Amino acid sequence: MAITLTENAAKHVENFIAKRGKGVGLRIGVRTSGCSGMAYKLEFADELASDDLQFVSHGVTVLVDPKSLSYIDGMELDYTREGLNEGFKFNNPNVKNQCGCGESFGV
């Protein structure tokens, strides 16, 4: 059971947290919404919740709540550039289908 970051993604997250000036890590989760049922949550984390699961990948702490983990276990987070746009990409092995843009998914 794990969530990992690519080296590139970890470098960016570290940089963002440093510039933001605070934060203990990255919070990843899912919630039910969107056209295909589930949507990712990607936030800065300022504190730990009591039931948080913690992963450390390339020096970055990733926090996940236990309910979310079953939907995203084994996922790898990458940071890529597509044309002018750049941002984080979720490579989630649990996904069975997703909406056209990939912002919401089903398992």
For the bound state, the minimum distance from the C-beta of residue 4 to other proteins, rounded and expressed in Å, comes to 16
Residues of span 38-97 touching other proteins by CB under 8 A: 39-46, 80, 82-90
Closer to other proteins by CB, 2 or 37: give it.
Answer: 37
> Contact at 8 Å (CB) between 60 and 11?
no
26 binds other proteins (CB under 8 A): yes
Beta strands in 4-107 (DSSP E): 4-5, 25-32, 38-45, 53-57, 60-64, 76-82, 85-91, 97-98, 104-106
Q: Is 16 in the site for other proteins (CB under 8 A)?
A: yes
